[in-house]
Amino acid sequence: MKRELTVPAIKEGTVIDHIPSRVTFKVMRILDLKEFNHVVSVVINLKSKAMGKKGIIKVSNRFLTKDEVNKIAILAPHATVNIIKNYEVKEKINVNVPDELDNIIKCSNPNCVTNNEKVKTFFNVVNKSPLQVICHHCERVMETDDIKLI
Amino acid sequence: MESINFKGRDIISIRDFSKKDLLYVLSIAKKIERDSDATLLKNKIIALLFFEPSTRTRLSFGSATKRLGGNTIGFAKADVTSIKKGETLWDTIKMVEQYSDVIVMRHPIEGAARLAAEAASVPVINAGDGSNQHPTQTLLDLYTIQKEKGNLENLNIGFLGDLKYGRTVHSLVIALSHFNANMFFISPNALKMPKHYLEELKKKKIKFTEVQNLSKISKKLDVLYVTRIQKERFPDALEYEKYKNVYRLDKSLLKQSKKDLIIMHPLPRVGEINPELDDTKNAVYFKQAGNGIPIRQALLSLVLGKIK
C-alpha cells in the first residue's frame, strides 16, 4: 500500500520535527504564527519510536532565525529544524537552549517582582539538560515543568 | 590585600560576590572597626526605605551611617508612602534617587532590590527582599565566623532549623561554598534545604550531610548556625505547631560539642535557644548582631567610593 504523507510537503519554509506532542501548540505560540499569512500545517500525536507521540509544524515561506530556533529548545530540546528550499532540505539546525531568556517565560514565583510590577522577565540558564533556569530578579530556580511562556 | 573598586556598585545578592570581593569587604569592616573616621560620610544622605518592618537591619544601617557622620532619610512602613496611592516601585526609586546618595531598601517582594538597582543611578543596597536575599546579613555572618574562628576555610558548619524557607541560611551556604566548608544540614524532613541548593553544592564539590538529629553530629561542629522556625512561612497554623519546638538548645549541647563551638543566630529567636546559653563563650549571636555595624559601614563607604 502506498503510504501517504499526513501533511503535504512544502516548497519553501521551515519544518520543525520531533516536538513533544503536548507542547506543539506552545511552540506555535513562541513563533507567533497567529497573524501569519501563509500556510502553516500542524500535526500532533504522530507515533514516534523515540518519543511516543510527537508533533510536527510546517511553516511555508518563513525561515526561522537562530534565536527563534533556540526559543523552541526551551520547550522541545530534541526538536529538529529543517530549512526547506524547493522541496529539499537545505539546512538542518540543531536546537540549542540559549544562555539567557529575555522576556520569554514567566517566573513561577507569585511573589516575584516580575509578577507584581510591570517588568520584563529575564532568566539565566543554569543547566541545559535537564533544563534549569534562575530568575534574574527573585533568584527562583525553575525546571522544565514550572516553565510557562509569557 | 589588593583593593577592589566598589564605587557605584549595587549590593543586591551574595551571588554577585566573588571570593575576593567577600574577603575585601570583610577586611574593610575590620579596618573600620579598629579605627573609624567619623567624618567619612559627611554630607552624604542615605535613604532607608523599609517597606517591611525590621528592627536590627534598619537601626544598624542608621547607626552605621551616623557613626560615619552621614545623614539618613526614609520610612519604616510602606503605608506612609505613595505606594498606597498606587505608585510603582520604579517611580518611587526614581524619586528617591534625587534625594539621596545611596538607597538601602527592604521590600516584601522578591526581586524588588534588583529592580530598584536597575531603576536607580545611585547605588542600591538590598536590606532584604522577601524570602530571597539579605546580603548584608550574610556578610556580617561571615565576618562573625572569621572573627571568632580566625579564618573561614575548611570549617565544619551546622545549619539548624528551618532550612527550607530561611533566606539567611541559603545565602550563607552560597557564600561559604567559596571556603570549602563541610556543611551539616539539621532539620525536620519537611523543612530540608531546597534541592537546587544541594545540587549547586554537589557541582562545586562541597561536602554536606543531612540529618534530623543534632546530637548525631554535634561533636564535629566548629560553628552552629541556628534559625527560627518562621511562623509566617507556614500556610497552616497546625503545621507550624508541629515544628515550632522541634529544636530547643540548652547547656546540655555544650557537653557533646567542641569546646570552641560557636553558636550563631540571625535573630530574632523565639524558643530555639534557651537564654541559659547567652552567658557562655560559645554564644555569639548578640556579638553577631553588633557586627552588622562595621559591615554596613564598610559597604556604605565602599559604594560611595570613600574607601578604595
Q: Do A89 and A18 belong together in one domain?
A: yes
- Domain count along chain B: 2
Encoded amino acid at A90, one letter: K
DSSP output for A108-141: S-TTBGGGTSS---EEEEEEETTEEEEETTT--E
Alpha carbon distance A82, A88 (integer Å): 9
pLDDT category of residue B33 using cuts at 50, 70 and 90: very high
| Whether residues B155 and B274 fall in one domain | yes
- Residue scoring higher pLDDT (B124 or A97): B124
User: Between A and B, how many residue pairs show a Cβ–Cβ distance under 8 A?
Assistant: 51
B253 φ, ψ (degrees, to nearest 5): -60, -40
In terms of domains, do B278 and B299 share one?
no
Residue A5 has which C-alpha cell? 504523507
- Residues of chain B with C-beta less than 8 angstroms from the C-beta of A117: 88-90, 109, 115
Report how far residue B59's alpha carbon sits from residue B64's, in angstroms, rounded to the nearest whole number.
Answer: 8
Per-residue pLDDT, B1 = 82
Catalytic residue set of B: 56-57, 85, 106, 134
- DSSP 8-class letter at A26: H
Do B59 and B84 belong together in one domain? Answer: yes
Looking at chain A, which residue has its C-alpha nearest residue B197?
Answer: A141
Which has the higher per-residue pLDDT, A8 or A108? Answer: A108
Pairwise CA distance, residues A122 & A112, whole Å: 12
Asked if residue B160 and residue B123 are part of one domain, the reply reads: no
CATH number at residue A112: 2.30.30.20
Q: Do B88 and A138 touch (CB under 8 A)?
A: no
Residue whose C-alpha cell is 514516534:
A48
> How many whole angstroms separate alpha carbon B73 and alpha carbon B156?
41
In this prediction the pTM is: 0.89
Domain check: are B93 and B189 in the same one? no
Check if the beta carbon of residue B97 is closer than 8 Å to that of residue B122.
Answer: yes
Average pLDDT, integer, range B271-282: 96
Listing DSSP states for chain B in one string gives: ------TT--B--GGG--HHHHHHHHHHHHHHHHS--TTTTTT-EEEEEESS--SHHHHHHHHHHHHTT-EEEEES-GGGSGGGGT--HHHHHHHHHHH-SEEEEEESSBTHHHHHHHH-SS-EEEEEETTS--HHHHHHHHHHHHHHHS--TT-EEEEES-TTT-HHHHHHHHHHGGGT-EEEEE--GGGPPPHHHHHHHHHTT--EEEES-GGGTGGG-SEEEE----GGG-S-HHHHHHHTTS--B-THHHHTS-TT-EEE--S--SSSB-GGGTTSTTB-HHHHHHTHHHHHHHHHHHHTTS--
Is the preceding peptide bond at B268 cis, omega within 30 degrees of 0? yes
Whether residue B36 is found in the same domain as residue B85: yes
Range of the structural domain that residue B281 is part of: 136-289
Answer yes or no: is pLDDT of B77 > 90.
Answer: no
Enclosing domain of residue A31? 13-94
* Cis status, amide bond into A130, omega within 30 of 0: yes
A79 and A27 within one domain: yes
Which cell is A75 given? 520547550
Last residue of a domain, one of A94, A119, A140: A94
Chain A residues close to B15, C-beta within 8 Å: 139
Domain check: are B84 and B185 in the same one? no
Split at pLDDT 50, 70, 90, the class of A145 is: confident
| A82 pLDDT higher than 60 | yes
pLDDT tens digits along A116-129 = 999 999 999 998 88
* CA distances in angstroms from B258 to B150, B157, B216, B222, B275, listed in the order given: 16, 12, 13, 7, 20
pLDDT, tens digit (0-9, with 9 covering 90-100), for A45-69: 999 888 899 999 999 999 988 778 8
Does residue A42 register a pLDDT over 80?
Answer: yes
| Structure ipTM | 0.90
Q: How far is CA B291 from the centre of its chain?
A: 11
> Within this chain, do residues A90 and A110 fall inside the same structural domain, yes or no?
no
User: For the residues B106-119, what does the mean pLDDT come to?
Assistant: 96
Shared domain check, A66 and A112? no
Q: What is the nearest CA distance from B214 to chain A, expressed in angstroms? A: 29
Residues 3-22 of chain B whose Cβ lies under 8 A from any Cβ of chain A: 13, 15
Q: For all residues of chain A together, what is the average pLDDT?
A: 89
Looking at residues A30-54, what average pLDDT do you find? 89
Amino acid at B35: D
CA distance linking residue A142 with residue A135, whole number of Å: 8
- Interface probe, candidates B52, B90, B107, B114, chain A, greatest A C-beta count within 10 A: B114
In chain B, % of residues over pLDDT 70: 98
Contact yes or no for B264/B226 (Cβ under 8 A):
yes
User: CB neighbours (10 Å) of residue B285?
Assistant: 20
Task: Specify whether A38 is located in the same domain as A88.
Answer: yes
pLDDT in tens, A11-29: 999 999 999 999 999 898 8
pLDDT at A85 over 60: yes
Q: In chain A, which residues have their Cβ closer than 8 Å to the Cβ of B88?
A: 117-118
pLDDT range class, residue B81, cuts 50, 70, 90: low
Q: What percentage of chain A carries pLDDT values higher than 70?
A: 95
CA dist B82 and A134 (Å) reads: 31
Region B260-280 average pLDDT: 96
Q: How far is B26 from B150, CA to CA, in rounded Å? A: 12
Whether A8 is covered by a domain: the verdict is no
